[in-house]
Structure 1
């Protein structure tokens, strides 16, 4: 993944915060299950963006948010002024050794350099701590969802095929083998809301404006023909993939 794509979100930080979905509570609970009983849980939201995951973590214990993009970090600080939010990245985390019980990564693992990020994450994790990566994605096994992807030709849009359970984090000597869970995360939205959400994806932010507008117009036109989505508010069948592994 290129740096330009990774940093493209800062140009639409407020829209990202407004339109991107939250993470399912049961997905966050599953991610933190190995350390949930620790008496003084310290959490790290790595590549925190505008704080979509920070909010869920903040209710479970003290959280530090680390984000490299200044615009995204500014949006996070405005939304969560009482959170310790720092500029930094996965390859150079601004925390001391063995300082956190869990490192969580929402919708961002694919931007990391794993050869540099995994040793750095291992450095800041306490023994027995957990690294968990989470992704929200469409359930493309639902016929009308697959249809809108096809209509828009969004070949770079991440979709969830439940037959594919092969998500893993890279192996590393500091960690146990990874585990994977898929949990439902349906959200209520509208055609306008879904189109606005798609507009915050990196493919849209870096695309030629004419190509982006044409793709979004195709989505809008297709959804207007579907009984599941054309009558107003509807349920978008998202799922949250979670991959976790324990620090040895």
Structure 2
């Protein structure tokens, strides 16, 4: 599902709210099985930031925060879901983690040099979140969204995407479609009223060690799967398991899921 920079129709906003609020009940599974982010992607996202104070917005269980900490970045995290926030605080006790949202950021004006978001920016209502993000950024601060996408140029990965269906692997989740799926849903950069400048996009090699069952567990943390009726979800997971069992790359033992971390980076103007 995608959201628009204008907030979308009321039914779109409701669907986004339902999907976006589905993760808390699976927070422990999310923390265990979702991948981190390529350090090279985070470095590129931050290369023009005027300082080192970074907000991880919509931080979830802290997957991106952990990458930022590994880079030595001064990180503050904001997450609206209590279950996800609890996992973040448990896993990264040294990170200053606050309850809040993209639409109501609990930080002062001009307090961070960059705002990064990992696999979360598509949940934001940018009519509200755009000005709020601009408020907490210093002049010329950086905003960047990061997405982990599977490399569907690899034949078996493309087959996995087809077998999984859009509830488990949607357009933002594959290399072939993530640019188009993200380029126009966040910041109206062409608008004269936008506080942000032109958009840049780039991808950085990444990967995750998985077994067939741990990959299935990862896919169960997708929002579309979390809200799916139990019987329908089990049927979908059975189809995914059957595909993984049919492929020599994934049928036994560990393998590397070929991935990239994609980055969408606009710059705060003024």
TM-score (norm 1): 0.94
**How far apart are the structure 2 equivalents of 1:45 and 1:164?**
21
Instruction: Report 1:157-176 matches (<5 A).
Output: 157-158=169-170, 159-162=173-176, 165-166=179-180, 167-168=182-183, 169-172=186-189, 173-176=194-197
* Equivalent in the alignment of 1:51: 62
CA apart distance, 1:182? 1.1
* Equivalent in the alignment of 1:225: 246
* Equivalent in the alignment of 2:226: 205
Question: 2:212, 2:252 within 8 Å by CA — same for their partners in 1?
Answer: no
Say whether 1:98 aligns with 2:110: yes
Question: 2:60, 2:84 within 8 Å by CA — same for their partners in 1?
Answer: yes
**How far apart are the structure 1 equivalents of 2:179 and 2:224?**
24
Say whether 1:185 aligns with 2:206: yes
Q: 2:30 aligns with which of 7, 16, 19?
A: 16
CA apart distance, 1:156? 5.8
CA apart distance, 1:163? 7.0
Deviates more, 1:180-189 or 1:144-153: 144-153
Residues 73/155 of structure 1: CA separation in 2 closer, same or farther (3 Å cut): closer
Find the residue that maps to 1:188 and give its secondary structure: strand
Deviates more, 1:191-200 or 1:156-165: 156-165
**How far apart are the structure 2 equivalents of 1:140 and 1:49?**
25
* Equivalent in the alignment of 1:123: 135
Q: What is the aligned length?
A: 245
Say whether 1:26 aligns with 2:40: yes
Q: 2:235 aligns with which of 195, 201, 214?
A: 214
Deviates more, 1:145-154 or 1:182-191: 145-154
Give 5+ residue unaligned stretches, structure 1.
none
**How far apart are the structure 1 equivalents of 2:19 and 2:167?**
16
Spell out, residue by residue over 1:30-55, the C-alpha distance to the aligned partner (whole angstroms, 9 max, x if none). 111112x73xx111000000000011
**How far apart are the structure 1 equivalents of 2:108 and 2:146?**
24
CA apart distance, 1:99? 0.2
- Aligned CA-pair RMSD: 1.6
Question: 1:103, 1:130 within 8 Å by CA — same for their partners in 2?
Answer: yes
Find the residue that maps to 2:104 and give its secondary structure: coil
Residues 66/223 of structure 1: CA separation in 2 closer, same or farther (3 Å cut): same
